[in-house]
Amino acid sequence: MSGDTEVADVVPSVREGHFDAWLTDEAAYLAPAPRPEMAGLRCAFTLRYAGRSGLGFNLGFDRGPRHEVLANRRRLLHALGMDKATLCTVRQVHSNAVCVVDEQALTNGLAGIETDALVTALPHVPIGVLAADCLPIVLYSAHPRALGVAHAGRMGTYHQVVLAALKVMQQQFAINPSQIRVMIGPGIGGCCYDLDHRAIDPFRERFADWESYCLPQKPGLWTMDLVRANRAQLQAAGVPSAHIRSLDMCTVCHCAHLFSHRAEREAAGRGMGMAVLLPEGQE
């Protein structure tokens, strides 16, 4: 592998060493910088191009020919050393529903399941969520070993999908929120996410802290900071602030590297936040 120096130059979280930018022959992606407490996790947030070829790297079946998407998913798995694995994804509907990926779910298949988060304790089973402005969020527990991914856009944030994933991980795998590690991938930043009162009013009515991430710009117009909102939810649930790493890479500002529905509308492909557990002793 080699570093993607162009991305490193423009993204502070990469430049400062919190995340690494990787460019292989098969894929280009961002990953949390290695740390001892993350040894059992492999994680990637994809960029919009397919490695050194520079070709498009759409991973959403509803955004391109199925054979191309399947080929891109195989390239991603190969780049991460998981050639024999099957990537688990679901149909995302901006909800707070959570899918538990266990042996029974793998046997039955995930086709047609509508949810916006997946959790698992199975090693070598990659799980992922698609995004093109919404936040892909990865939750990892080393002891006991468990993993979750969540798709948190405006509605997912309103429905607290990341907390729903955390709660299911507590119920299913007995994880402790104070020990969990969180990686927040690229998404539309507060710099570019303008919303009117129809989008903001539900937050105003439900959340006491809404003004900390919904900032007024002019009468009838606000900006929303999805990263700050999800950070607040996680911290309120007991996840230490120091355990939350955010890429802080706006999909609109960095549309040359990332897909953005707001910037490209229907032409936007879909990137992915995905992760996989490694068996203990095989890190």
The interaxial angle of helices 161-173 and 226-236, nearest 10 deg, is: 30
> Model confidence over 215-249: pLDDT tens digits?
999 999 999 999 999 999 999 999 999 999 999 99
Helix (H, G, I), strand (E, B) or coil at 7: helix
Q: Which residues of the chain have pLDDT under 70?
A: 1-5, 51-54, 281-283
Write down the pTM of the prediction: 0.95
Q: How far is Cα 162 from Cα 234, in angstroms, rounded to an integer?
A: 8
pLDDT at 54: 66
Output the pLDDT for position 4.
Answer: 60
- Quick one: tokens of 122? 């199975």
Q: What pLDDT is stored for residue 50 in this prediction?
A: 83
For residues 263 and 252, what is the distance between their CA atoms, to the nearest angstrom? 6
CA–CA separation, 244 and 166 (whole Å): 13
Q: What is the pLDDT of residue 206?
A: 97
> For position 44, what pLDDT does the model report?
97
Domain residue ranges of the chain, discontinuous segments joined by +: 2-189+225-277
Query: What's the CATH number for 2-189+225-277?
Result: 3.60.140.10
What are the tens digits of pLDDT across the range 85-120? 999 999 999 999 999 999 999 999 998 899 999 999
**17 φ/ψ sector (left φ>0, alpha ψ -120 to 50, else beta):** left
**Which amino acid makes up residue 271?**
G
Q: Give dist(CA 167, CA 188) in Å, integer.
A: 26
Q: How far apart are the C-alpha atoms of 151 and 257, rounded to whole Å? A: 19
